[in-house]
Structure 1
């Protein structure tokens, strides 16, 4: 009886967590593309105007970012200004929660058939590398090692801390600007 009442609350909590994480990730993708040359180099290979979406199927939470040129990404929230070029879709909220709570690597989730990719695979690989680079900056090393395929040996603590601080500052600034605009 008790479990019957808890299940809906767990589902709602997961959905809220995934929604918040998508908002943070979208803003963080924009921020990291403004400060990190490795991310900019990866993103430059994407066509200008390229739209990337990550979402929970069928009509769940989503984030949309656009490559606006020069390796820079722009976060659009959950509304696409035109058709999406690349979509990574989690098949269920529980699958998204596993990845976004860093219990399962993206590559493992894909191998376990928990997500779909619609679009060119080479672009999906680039976006995954960008996401991995972001995670190495903003997550503690122990968590990042669980989240990404390979933690970069060349990333040292001072660079990690400075980059993380800059990313989080830009994310916070973006949240404040969004709140002011609405």
Structure 2
């Protein structure tokens, strides 16, 4: 894993950090890409709730009003969801406090989240690397992770899914059908 070296200088008793323009652009790109992936993940979970019985079964175990958050720090993209009778409802980040979530997966950095969202490492590998902090019940977190694993299996091509999942689950609809349903849902909502 690469390390970021930051120059610090003292200005009137406080430390000031200078980061290169290249690193700023890289971080901005990772934030933008992470926001897109979280958007697809949300809509993918809702489509799978309708089309895949395993996701539907997992979500049916969550009580009405159960809230889940996936974040990566202040000023970075986040996904906050609430279980409703119709599926998952996205909560606006500006109006949602991560501390109020029933379950919060808080990545320690944009880099740590980016590796998971891009499919370079699994959620389990990120947990093993201490890439995120979990607030809430671990059993419920496992349910969320199972749903995320199924979504990754549908949204990522098989060669990527095989790298990050212990076992690639059998799909109940094809990749193209999944993408068309997700994009259609995004257009409607």
- After TM superposition, the score normalised by the length of structure 2 is 0.80
Q: Which residue number corresponds to residue 38 of structure 1?
A: 54
Q: 1:116 aligns with which of 129, 133, 142?
A: 133
Deviation at 1:168, TM superposition (A): 2.1
The match for 1:95 among 105, 112, 117 is 112
**Offset, 1:150:** 2.2
Q: Which of residues 153, 167, 171 in structure 1 aligns to 2:178?
A: 167
How far apart in 2 are the matches of 1:57 and 1:102?
20
Shift of 1:66: 2.0
Q: CA deviation at 1:59?
A: 4.2
Does residue 24 (structure 1) correspond to residue 40 (structure 2)? The answer is: yes
Superposition misfits of 4+ residues, deviation over 6 angstroms = none
Relative to structure 1, the CA distance from residue 36 to residue 74 in structure 2 (aligned partners, 3 Å threshold; closer, same or farther) is: farther
What does 1:39-118 correspond to in 2, within 5 Å? 39-69=55-85, 72-78=87-93, 79-80=95-96, 83-118=100-135
2:151 alignment partner, one of 130, 134, 150:
134
**For 2:163, which of 127, 131, 146 is the aligned residue?**
146
Are the equivalent residues in 2 in contact too, given 1:46–1:67 (CA < 8 A)? yes
Deviation digits for residues 30-69 of structure 1, max 9, x if unmatched? 1111111111111111111111111112342111222223
- Aligned-residue CA RMSD (Å): 2.3
Distance 1:51 1:30 in 2: 15
CA distance 1:116–1:63, shift in 2 (3 Å) = same
* TM-score, structure 1 normalization: 0.83
Change (3 A) 1:30 1:75: farther
**Counterpart contact for 1:87–1:118, Cα < 8 Å:** yes
Structure 1, gaps ≥5 residues long? none
Structure 2: gaps (5+ residues): 1-18
